[in-house]
Amino acid sequence: MLVYLLKRITHALPVAFGVSVVCFLLVHIAPGDPLTSVLPPDASAQLQAEMRRIYGFDRPLPVQYGLWAMKALQGDLGTSIATGRPVATELGKAIGNTLMLAVLATLIGFILGSLFGFVAGYFRGSWIDKLASFISIIGVSVPHYWLGMVLVIIFSVQLNWLPATGAGPGGSDAWRWDWAHIRHLILPAVTMSVIPMGIVARTVRALVADILSQEFVSGLRAKGLLDFGVFRHVVKNAAPTALAVMGLQLGYLLGGSILIETVFSWPGTGFLLGQAIFQRDLPLLQGTILVLALFFVTLNMIVDIVQAMLDPRVQRA
Amino acid sequence: MSAAASIAAMAAIEKSPGYWSGVLTRLRRDPVAMVALAVVLALILMAIFAPWVAPNDPYRSSMIRRLRPIGTPGFPLGTDELGRDMLSRLIYGARLSLLMGVMPVIIAFFVGSAIGITAGFVGGRVNTVLMRTIDVFFAFPSVLLAIALSGALGAGIFNGLLSLTVVFIPPIARIAESVTTGVRKIEYVEAARASGASGFTIVRVHVLGNVIGPIFVYATSLISVSLILASGLSFLGLGVKPPEPEWGLMLNTLRNAIYVQPWVAALPGVMIFITSVSFNLLSDGLRSAMDLKA
């Protein structure tokens, strides 16, 4: 296990380095001079050169990267051009909101998806299987930002049951677990849960069908084990992979929450990204992407390690 | 075996239907895949012949007939926030939406296959360098990478296409690499090498035919994701710019109208949904038609 742990960490480190290089270069692939957004349009050539020196843009790229990475490691992700506040502060407020939304969506998606997938795999070929497969196809094919709009139309515009946007009366800073706030969470979380639901259902269906076709299941049945006993064995065998898929989905939702957060004006990292794009606030864009991508790399690593702990077969592979 | 018998055997091999025609036959027997194919073809035809199919000019706006409901005479699907005909805009929208959704996967299919096959076939240090680079891009969630790139590059059709292509190269290259590595170890490739065939010839004659199928099926499964992402970029104000008709952009501009004409505002999403479901079902059908080796 320790060997596997070390192997996995030494694999993640160069990837994390690469990810940081890509994020660093984002500002440099952007058209135009990165200084234009901070300088007045009529700035003199002398002032421009001076600013270039202060910001370090006159140095070679690798040196710039080194300075940027050192600062980033210390938690300094630069300053947002639009608000003038440190990017890290803006992110700190947003990340909790996104995490709350993504974790809830993953849980809903995982529970419903495993249920559909399990039933479909258990009764393979039956109408229940066809229905469950149909639902999971819908889940992976629906443009979720549109689904969010449709849910708003039904539950906010037509029925007036739930709020369409925002995070509650206190805004993003005063979240409490009471109905006034939770009702703001329902529509975005349900919308977001559709993606992992479809994917988990597909995975679990394939897993269950595969496990049921293996000899040890026939052996268990021959031994006289009832359906419930067989069920226990199937769950035990399917769980590590299903949990790994769930972990990865959480990562995808964290990184991909921008569309849903835009639809619902949910004050998370995705909403922040949307603002950064709208205002061409490159430091904010860069910092947010860096943090989300590194989060994803770390989560991937944790998922692999947990899976290896649950299922020793993974370690040998 | 006599010479005549071996010639007869060769003739029989030549006559026996190939792998791909078997796939086509099986695909044709799959009603779901056939319906999906019909929808996809209809959408493509609609995009090509948009000027003849659309009843109105998709750009002509009118301040006096904004946001008319579905079923308005002359405007069967209503009008948008600038009074433009929704039906015509949805029909014209197929052009950019399909282009932005399908093109990146096609380009990524070629580039990703080239990278993956090279890495898998050459192996060694080349493999390490190529695949570790691919790993870095694969480490981003796809939505995040697409938004990072097009967010930095700015709005525009070309920037959107470029960002999406970069997003889909890593997964395709990974599949191509693993399939090619598997094929490289099979004996007939060894035999070809032993008989003196050059690396390029081996790839062209022995490897390509065996790896391109699985890579192709995988690539088709990405089209639906790409469509949703492409429209998503336009929905965020990246990708296609107004006043071009594009489904994601239309959803974005109609978002403020959900309190006035909710169902008109939701229409562009229906088009994205239908297109993406059809591509998904077609890809699933293709996959099962190809897996059946019997």
> Six-digit token pair at A105?
């969506």
Using the Cβ of A247 and the Cβ atoms of chain B, whether some distance falls under 8 Å is answered with: no
Q: Do B251 and A152 touch (CB under 8 A)?
A: no
Mean pLDDT confidence for B274-291: 90
Is B148 close to A289, i.e. CB distance below 8 A? yes
Name the A residues in 122-141 with CB < 8 Å from any B CB. 137-138, 140-141
- What one-character DSSP code corresponds to residue B118? H
Check CB contact under 8 Å for A276 and B151.
yes
* B130 alpha carbon, distance to own chain's centre: 24
Which ipTM value was assigned to this complex? 0.86
Per the domain annotation, does B75 fall within a domain?
no
- The alpha carbon of residue A25 is apart from the nearest alpha carbon of chain B, in Å, by 10
Interface of B with A (CB under 8 A): 132-133, 135-137, 139-144, 147-149, 151-154, 224, 228, 231-232, 235-238, 248, 251, 255, 258-259, 262-263, 265-266, 268-270, 272-273, 276-277, 280-281, 284
What integer pLDDT is reported at residue B293 of this predicted model? 42
Indicate if the alpha-carbon torsion angle A214, A217, A221, A224 is positive or negative.
Answer: positive
Q: What is the CATH number of the domain that holds B178?
A: 1.10.3720.10
Domain for residue B61, yes or no?
no
Q: Is the pLDDT of residue B9 over 60?
A: no
Q: Is B78 part of a structural domain of the chain?
A: no
Return the closest-CA partner of residue A266 out of A84, A95, A89. A95
> Would you say residue B272 lies in a domain?
yes
At residue B79, the 3 state secondary structure works out as strand
Contact flag A149-B147 (C-beta cutoff 8 Å): no
- Residue A44: the pLDDT is 77
Note if the bond before B55 is cis, omega within 30 degrees.
no
Query: Residue ranges of chain A with pLDDT lower than 70?
Result: 33-39, 55, 168-175, 314-317
Question: DSSP of A29-88, one letter per residue?
Answer: HSSS-TTTTTS-TT--HHHHHHHHHHHTTTS-HHHHHHHHHHHHHTT---B-TTT-SBHH
Q: What is the amino acid identity at position B150? A: S
Other C-beta atoms within 10 Å of A41: how many? 5
- Across the interface, whether the CB atoms of B135 and A21 are under 8 A apart is answered no
Element holding A208 (H helix, E strand): helix A179-212
Tell me if A153 and B258 make a contact (CB, 8 A cut-off).
yes
Contact B126, B177 (CB under 8 A): no
pLDDT band at residue B224 under the 50/70/90 scheme: very high
| Closest residue to B280, CB basis, from A137, A277, A280 | A137
Instruction: For residue B94, tell me if it sits in a domain.
Output: no
Q: Which residue has the tokens 């706006």?
A: B61
Cβ distance of A137 and B149 shorter than 8 Å: no
Select the residue from A142, A149, A297 to test the B interface by mutation, using most B Cβ atoms within 10 A. A149
Q: Please say if the pLDDT value at position B169 is more than 90.
A: yes
Cα–Cα distance for residue pair B110/B108, rounded to 1 Å: 5
Residue that the structure tokens 């994020």 belong to: A23
In angstroms, the CA A192 to CA B79 distance is 30
In 3D space, the residue among B264, B256, B249, B261 whose CA is nearest the CA of residue B77 turns out to be B264
Quick count: other Cβ atoms within 10 Å of Cβ B178? 15
Q: Which CATH class for the A87-316 domain? A: mainly alpha
- The per-residue pLDDT of chain B, averaged, comes to 87
Which residue has 């993956």 as its token pair? B116
Residues 6 or more apart whose CB falls under 8 angstroms from that of A142 comprise A194, B273, B276, B277
Cα gap B208→B216, rounded to integer Å: 11
Phi-psi region of B72 (alpha: psi -120 to 50; beta: other; left: phi over 0): beta
> pLDDT tens digits, residue range A152-172?
989 988 888 888 777 766 655
pLDDT digits (tens, 9 = 90+) for B31-84: 889 999 999 999 999 999 989 988 888 888 877 888 888 878 888 888 888 878
- Domain, as residue range, for B140: 99-283
Total tally of structural domains belonging to chain B = 1
Token pair for A293? 């991508």
Average pLDDT of span B82-109: 92
Helix (H, G, I), strand (E, B) or coil at B236: coil
Q: What is the DSSP letter of B49?
A: T
Cβ of A143 within 8 Å of Cβ of B269? The answer is yes
* C-alpha pair distances (Å), B230 with each of A197, A222, B104, B111, B125: 22, 53, 9, 19, 35
Does residue B184 carry a pLDDT above 50? yes
Alpha helices in B155-292 (DSSP H): 157-184, 187-194, 199-202, 208-235, 247-254, 262-291
Residue B107 covered by a domain:
yes
- For residue B21, being part of any structural domain is answered with no
CB contact under 8 A, B236 and A289: no
DSSP one-letter code for B56: S
Q: Is A102 on the interface with B (CB under 8 A)?
A: no
Average pLDDT over residues B183-188: 81
Comparing C-alpha atoms, which of A191, A197, A234 is closest to residue A113?
A197
**Among the partner residues B263, B276, B284, nearest to A143 by beta-carbon distance:** B276
Among residues B249, B239, B244, which one has the least CA distance to residue B269?
A: B249
Q: Is residue B70 part of a domain?
A: no
pLDDT of residue A139: 85
Cβ of B232 within 8 Å of Cβ of A31? The answer is no
- Indicate the average pLDDT of chain A: 83
**CB of A144 closer than 8 Å to CB of A260:** yes
Q: B16 pLDDT band (50/70/90 cuts)? A: low
How would you class A278 by CB atoms within 10 Å of its CB: exposed for 0-12, middle for 13-18, buried for 19 or more? Answer: middle
